[in-house]
Structure formats: C-alpha cells, structure tokens
Structure 1
Amino acid sequence: MGAMTVLELLSLLPDPAALRDRCRAIALLDTVLDTYAPTHTFVAGWRDGVDLAFMDNGSGDQYAVVFDPAGVFLYGFDHESDATPWREEDRAHWPGLLDGLPASLAHYTEAPEFQCHGFFDATVCAWREDGDTEWRCGPVEFAPDESDGADWLFGLLLDGSPDAYVSFAEDYFERSVDRDAVAAVLAGSPLSRATVISLSSSADYEAIAEQARRLGYCIPDEPGI
C-alpha cells in the first residue's frame, strides 16, 4: 500500500472552522515553546479578512492554509517527494495538481510569499470553496510507490490530539512537554498563566498573551489568572 496522497487527504481534513482553530492552537503552542523560530505560525489578518497558517520545517518543506471568505486554499511542498516540481529541469507541477482550482482562490498560487524564484513550489494542493461541503483537489494520479508528501506534511493537523502534538514537540524541541497544558490550548481554553508556565517555565506570560491576542486566541479577562 502506497503513502497517503492528497486524494486520501481530502476525506480526512476537518471542516474549515475546526481547521482554523487547530492551526491557531498549534501555532500558539509552538510560540510558547520557541518564541523566536516556531515551526508553525498563524497570521490573523494576513490579508484583509484573510488568515494564514504556515509551516516551515527549516529543511525545505512547508505548507500553507489560507482562510479566505471565498473559501480555504491549502498547499504543501515536500522537496523530496515524487511530485516535486524540481523533478524536471524547467520546474513543472505534477499533472493535474492545479486543474479545477476555482478563480476565487487561484490567485494565491501567485502570492509572493508562496513563490520560489518566481514559481509556485507545491506538491500538494486542495481547496474548499465557501458553501461547499467537501474538500477538493485536481485530477492527480499516483502509482502505489509515488508520494506527494501529504502523509507526513499534514499528519499533525489531521490528528489534532494532545498526544500527537506532544510527540512532535518532544522530538522537535528535544524536551518534555506538559500534555495537560497542550490539551488545554488545543481545546481553545483561555490561555492562563499556569498553562504557559507549564509549557515553558522561562516564558514571559504577558508577551505570550499579547502574541496570542494577535493570533485571535482567547485570553482570560484577568491576565494574571
């Protein structure tokens, strides 16, 4: 059995509202654990009325999820996958990758933030227009031994559990991570001082709380709680 590709990813992605909450929570957790170089980020108001979730693992792989009033645009880039545009001298997308992408979201393939030397580097692409009940992708095809990177790029987003994040964070940050604190953030609980300190004893709560506000995350009315 081959690796999961975007074709299987579609049925596993949560609805846009849940996905946005999960992206925001993961970005906040990363911010607490690594304020200066988080792997996952979330930019509320990236564009007018548009939010952006972004992942960069520092090794040439990334994904972005754009939350636009017109819908959600998602892409990923696994530079070592079979679908990498770099498989050809003149970079080319995997056949069908962007076919069917609605005009209301297609302009994001040209966003400067997603360009590499003037090209939209992507191995995975999916979307869900506002009002649609399903995620969609282009008519891509993969042999059983071919991969686009969807399996590992989006594994954490798909799982969304405290255990999955703790496993990622303990491996990535090489330190123990408080599961209860992770669970509280993933559940959307107001970000308390106790939760922040449980995640990082050296964290500046006020600074973290301000960053959380910018993410659109809920903060207690009494910041000292």
Structure 2
Amino acid sequence: MTVHDLVTLLPTPDVLRDRCRALPLLDTVLAPYAPLHDFSPAWAEGVAVARMDNGSGDEYAIVFDPAGVLLLGFDHECDATPWRIRPRAHWPGLLDGLPAGLARHTADPAFLFDGFLDATVCVWREPGDDAWRCGPVAFGPDASAEPDGAERLFELVTDGTGGAYTAYAEDIHELSVDRAAVSAVLAGSPLERATVLALSPTADLAAVAARARSLGFPVADDMRAA
C-alpha cells in the first residue's frame, strides 16, 4: 500500500475527525501511561490537530483547518525517507500540488525536526472536494512492498471496523480487547460506562470522562457523573 491507495481508503473529513478523537480515548482506557495518539481540538484558532508518535521514529500529524485537511506521515525506515540522502530531501513529487492554505503547515515549527519537515506521506482535501489528493509520487520496480509507510502509519484511521485497533492493542499491550467496544468508540457514539468497563474493568471512569470531554468526544449520561 502506498499513498495512492491511501487516498482511496480514507473516510470523509468528518468521519476522520471522529476517529482521530476516538484513538486517544481508546489509548486512555487501555494504556493511560503510554498513549500513542493525541488530539488537540484547539491547536490554533479554528485548527485541530491529531498526532501519533510510536516512540520509535514514526509519526503523523493530521491538521483540520478551515482551508481543508492535511495528513503528514513519516516512516523513518521506508524507501521514501528524507534521510536517504544528505542533505535531507523529500521524495520527488511529495508536496507538489499542495494548496497554499494547507502548505503553510509544512513550515510549522511544531512539525519540523532540526528545521526540516520529515515526511514520507502527504495527503490533503480542500472543502468541496469529493476525494483525497496527493502529489505525483512514483516508486520504481525495486521499491519495497510499502515504500512510503502509508499502511503502517494510517491503518488505524482507515479502518472503521475496530479490527485494526483491536489487533494493535492486543499485540502491544498483550491483553484481550473487546472489539465491539472498540467499534462503538470509533463510531463516535456517546461514551457509556459499560463501553469503558468492557475495555478495562479497572479503568478510572472519572479520568476517562475528563479525557473524553477534553477531546470533544460525546459522553453519555451515565459517564457525566463519573
């Protein structure tokens, strides 16, 4: 899978935003001391940002801006890494065609490392678009099976069934995870006490409710008193 497949698998911006709220909430329940995902609903005026950092050099940022949505991903070991040459350089075509209203985020110091945007995947969608877009990147016959890291980076946001996150959580945290509960959270349903307890019988309900509210995630009546 490459960025060209990713643009066909991403959901609409509204659904994507809901999933980006859900992932850090799931992390809060299952791994409160080692969250992989974050979502800042008020990153800047009118701008929300979802982030992932796996602690091993791979990360992404998804920017929700009035000018559209921008996905930036970095897989440090893939063929398209800017570190393949010195000085660092993006894979040819990666940022080509990126609208100016979204391109400004590629210069945001929060997304730079030593003054450079480390990115191997770039996808965007402007208001009114009916599809996601990417630059004219191409990979030769000798490229690896996943030359830009698109699948490894964005599998959890493209899968709305709960299966991908459940498999990830069971592998990383070495515990059994209730897939139906994961699916309910990913669907953006108001968070219920039963859902939280199905995921973790020992969860701190008050902390989970507080985290949900900070993410802008809807909370059911039986969690409001938690």
TM-score w.r.t. the length of structure 1 is 0.94
1:25 aligns with 2:25: no
Q: How many residues end up aligned between the 2 structures?
A: 222
Following superposition, the deviation at residue 201 of structure 1 comes to 2.3
1:105 aligns with 2:102: yes
Supply the distance in 1 between the matched residues of 2:86 and 2:159 (Cα, whole angstroms): 36
Match of 2:68 in 1: 71
Q: Which residue, 37, 41, 61 being the options, matches 1:40?
A: 37
Supply the distance in 1 between the matched residues of 2:118 and 2:60 (Cα, whole angstroms): 10
- Is 70-79 or 132-141 further displaced after alignment? 132-141
Q: Do 1:72 and 1:128's aligned partners in 2 also have CA atoms closer than 8 Å?
A: yes
Following superposition, the deviation at residue 87 of structure 1 comes to 0.4
Cα deviations by residue, 1:119-178 (Å, 9 ceiling, x for unpaired): 000000010011111111111111144211112211121122122211111011111112
Following superposition, the deviation at residue 195 of structure 1 comes to 1.6
Supply the distance in 2 between the matched residues of 1:163 and 1:93 (Cα, whole angstroms): 33
Match of 2:171 in 1: 171
Match of 2:190 in 1: 190
Q: Do 1:82 and 1:148's aligned partners in 2 also have CA atoms closer than 8 Å?
A: yes
Q: Do 1:14 and 1:158's aligned partners in 2 also have CA atoms closer than 8 Å?
A: yes
Where does the alignment leave 5 or more consecutive residues of structure 2 unmatched?
none
Supply the distance in 2 between the matched residues of 1:189 and 1:8 (Cα, whole angstroms): 28
Counterpart code for 2:173: F
Partner secondary structure for residue 154 of structure 1: helix
Supply the distance in 1 between the matched residues of 2:141 and 2:175 (Cα, whole angstroms): 37
1:208 aligns with 2:205: no
Partner secondary structure for residue 120 of structure 1: coil
Q: Do 2:181 and 2:199's aligned partners in 1 also have CA atoms closer than 8 Å?
A: yes
RMSD: 1.4
Partner secondary structure for residue 134 of structure 2: coil
Match of 1:221 in 2: 221
Q: Do 1:42 and 1:51's aligned partners in 2 also have CA atoms closer than 8 Å?
A: yes
Where does the alignment leave 5 or more consecutive residues of structure 1 unmatched?
none
Q: Do 2:82 and 2:89's aligned partners in 1 also have CA atoms closer than 8 Å?
A: yes
Q: Do 1:42 and 1:52's aligned partners in 2 also have CA atoms closer than 8 Å?
A: yes
TM-score w.r.t. the length of structure 2 is 0.93
Following superposition, the deviation at residue 224 of structure 1 comes to 4.4
Partner secondary structure for residue 26 of structure 1: helix
Counterpart code for 1:189: S
Cα deviations by residue, 1:77-111 (Å, 9 ceiling, x for unpaired): 00001100000110000011111111100011111
Supply the distance in 2 between the matched residues of 1:145 and 1:47 (Cα, whole angstroms): 42
Cα deviations by residue, 1:171-216 (Å, 9 ceiling, x for unpaired): 1111111222212212222112222122122221111101101111
Match of 1:58 in 2: 55
Supply the distance in 1 between the matched residues of 2:173 and 2:189 (Cα, whole angstroms): 23
Cα deviations by residue, 1:30-72 (Å, 9 ceiling, x for unpaired): 1111123211111111111111111111110011111111100
Counterpart code for 1:148: D
Match of 1:6 in 2: 3
Q: Do 2:160 and 2:187's aligned partners in 1 also have CA atoms closer than 8 Å?
A: no
Structure 1 vs Structure 2: percent identity of aligned residues? 63
| Dislocated runs of 4+, deviation >4 Å | none
